[in-house]
């Protein structure tokens, strides 16, 4: 075992202690009123799309994030799908998304019948690089009638999706300047960033719409689940309408006025979400303690650095992330092997989306930074309860 592998493994042991027998990447935590809320929901028999917990969960999300409206749905992909439709994305359009993202970002674009257009990442934030984007869009055509058009494909570029990678906020001030310059709607993929803020404002509240995820591996979970955030009352009403099969309210009649989706979050899941939201401050505090410990310990590991929250931001540190100072697929995979063999679940970042077979023919910008990040990032165990081991 080489020195970097020995030092890497020893640093994990210092932060996390001995695995017994295995330390997962990210586990949910149920230490509050989860059992009570779920039992109350079961006792009520309102376990599906009708019930008090859906409304309560939406209010809690809106109050916490500062959004005027939150619409709870079945998962983050569904949330992003509907948000893009509401932002005006249509079949045959292109949507700008980071090449370094989870596949759901691209899938939601495809579900609209649109084409993902992959763009560059920023070294400091891991998200979209607004400056590289601005330079890249100078090669597109902008007109008052057609909006922004890709000169090579002739397709309209309908929106841009900043994704807050591992909970680290994108440089939203610069991104919004670029989006406004090119008249691009902004739909935020804040799936990973509940509890993260940029300049004191919660992620997911900068664009026309934002989306959250409550999958089992997120900061809080509803089992599955997601939400659409917006400050626009009309968009919120449309989001709720389209995610509930576009049914017109009536005491008994079934009348639907559009092709729509059955995407609403069940009351049973929302009950779990309400209890999880009550625990959110504690979860975030402990995740920051764990991140601080990683940062301290990995300062002494030559060749490996800890990814800290960007300037002007407060990150939820959803997944703590290490970065090789010299990008190397070989070294990355050696470190992943020794960590997982020792009982610490670590993983690489995602394969860049333009390398996946179903997206290989999609347009993309030059991606030198994203390609370096792909072979240098390592996610390490990040559950809030691990903060106890890190003290």
Token pair 């504690």 in the structure block, residue: 282
Q: Is the pLDDT of residue 151 over 70?
A: yes
Q: Which tokens sit at 386?
A: 């691990």
Q: Which tokens sit at 161?
A: 């999706």
Per-residue model confidence (pLDDT) at position 375 = 98
Contacts 24+ apart (CB under 8 A), 289-295: 289/387, 289/390, 289/391, 290/15, 290/317, 290/320, 290/382, 290/384, 290/386, 290/387, 290/390, 291/315, 291/317, 291/320, 293/15, 293/387, 293/390, 293/391, 294/15, 294/320, 294/322, 294/380, 294/390
Name the H helices within the chain. 3-16, 34-44, 52-65, 76-86, 103-111, 130-137, 172-181, 233-242, 267-298, 329-342, 368-374
Axis crossing angle, helix 267-298 with helix 3-16, rounded to the nearest 10: 130
For residue 49, name the pLDDT band (cuts at 50, 70, 90): confident
Per-residue model confidence (pLDDT) at position 31 = 94
Alpha carbon distance 145, 143 (integer Å): 5
In 64-213, at which residue ranges do the beta strands (DSSP E only) sit? 69-73, 94-98, 115-119, 141-143, 147-149, 156-160, 187-189, 197-198, 201-202, 209-213
For 324-340, how does the pLDDT look when each residue is reduced to its tens digit (9 = 90+)?
999 999 999 999 999 99
Residues linked to residue 71 through DSSP beta bridges, in sequence order: 228
Q: Is the pLDDT of residue 273 over 80?
A: yes
Domain boundaries for CATH 3.40.640.10 within the chain: 34-277
For residue 388, name the pLDDT band (cuts at 50, 70, 90): confident
Per-residue model confidence (pLDDT) at position 391 = 47
Token pair 């970042």 in the structure block, residue: 349
For 212-230, how does the pLDDT look when each residue is reduced to its tens digit (9 = 90+)?
999 999 999 999 999 999 9
Q: What is the largest CA-CA distance in the chain?
A: 71
Alpha carbon distance 271, 47 (integer Å): 9
Per-residue model confidence (pLDDT) at position 389 = 61
**Residue 322 · residue 28 · CB < 8 Å:** no
- The CATH number of 3-29+278-387 is 3.90.1150.10
**Residue 132 · residue 91 · CB < 8 Å:** no
For residue 281, name the pLDDT band (cuts at 50, 70, 90): very high
Please count the CA atoms within 13 angstroms of the CA of 22 that sit on its side-chain side: 8
Q: Does domain 34-277 have CATH number 3.30.200.20?
A: no
For 376-385, how does the pLDDT look when each residue is reduced to its tens digit (9 = 90+)?
999 999 999 9
Domain boundaries for CATH 3.90.1150.10 within the chain: 3-29+278-387
């Amino acid at each position: 075992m080489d020195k970097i592998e020995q030092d890497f493994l020893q640093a994990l042991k210092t932060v996390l202690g001995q695995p017994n027998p295995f330390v997962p990447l990210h586990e949910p935590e149920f230490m509050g009123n989860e059992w009570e809320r779920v039992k109350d929901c079961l006792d009520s028999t309102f376990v599906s799309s009708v019930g008090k917990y859906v409304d309560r969960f939406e209010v809690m999300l809106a109050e916490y994030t500062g959004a005027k409206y939150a619409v709870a749905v079945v998962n983050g992909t569904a949330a992003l799908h509907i948000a893009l439709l509401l932002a005006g994305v249509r079949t045959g359009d292109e949507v700008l998304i980071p090449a370094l993202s989870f596949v759901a970002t691209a899938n939601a674009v495809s579900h609209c019948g649109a084409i993902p257009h992959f763009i560059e990442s920023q070294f400091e934030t891991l998200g979209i690089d607004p400056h590289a984007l601005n330079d890249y869009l100078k090669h597109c055509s902008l007109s008052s009638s057609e909006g922004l058009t890709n000169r090579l494909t002739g397709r309209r570029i309908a929106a841009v999706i900043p994704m807050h990678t591992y909970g680290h906020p994108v440089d939203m001030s610069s991104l919004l300047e670029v989006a406004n310059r090119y008249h691009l709607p902004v739909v935020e993929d804040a799936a990973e960033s509940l509890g993260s803020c940029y300049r004191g404002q919660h992620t997911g509240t900068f664009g026309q719409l934002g989306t959250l995820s409550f999958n089992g591996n997120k900061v809080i979970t509803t089992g599955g689940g997601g939400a659409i955030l917006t400050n626009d009352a009309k968009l919120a009403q449309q989001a709720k309408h389209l995610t509930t099969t576009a049914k017109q309210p009536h005491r008994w009649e079934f009348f639907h006025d559009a092709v729509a989706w059955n995407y609403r979050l069940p009351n049973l899941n929302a009950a779990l979400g309400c209890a999880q939201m009550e625990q959110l401050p504690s979860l975030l505090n402990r995740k920051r303690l764990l991140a601080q410990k990683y940062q301290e310990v990995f300062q002494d590991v030559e060749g490996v650095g800890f990814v800290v929250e960007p300037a002007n931001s407060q990150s939820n540190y959803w997944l703590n992330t290490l970065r090789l100072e010299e990008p190397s697929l070989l070294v990355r995979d050696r470190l992943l092997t020794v960590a997982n063999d020792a009982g610490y679940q670590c993983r690489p970042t995602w394969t860049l989306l333009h390398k996946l077979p179903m997206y290989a023919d999609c347009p993309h910008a030059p991606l030198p930074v994203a390609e370096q990040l792909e072979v240098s990032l390592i996610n390490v165990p990040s559950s809030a309860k691990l903060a106890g081991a890190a003290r």
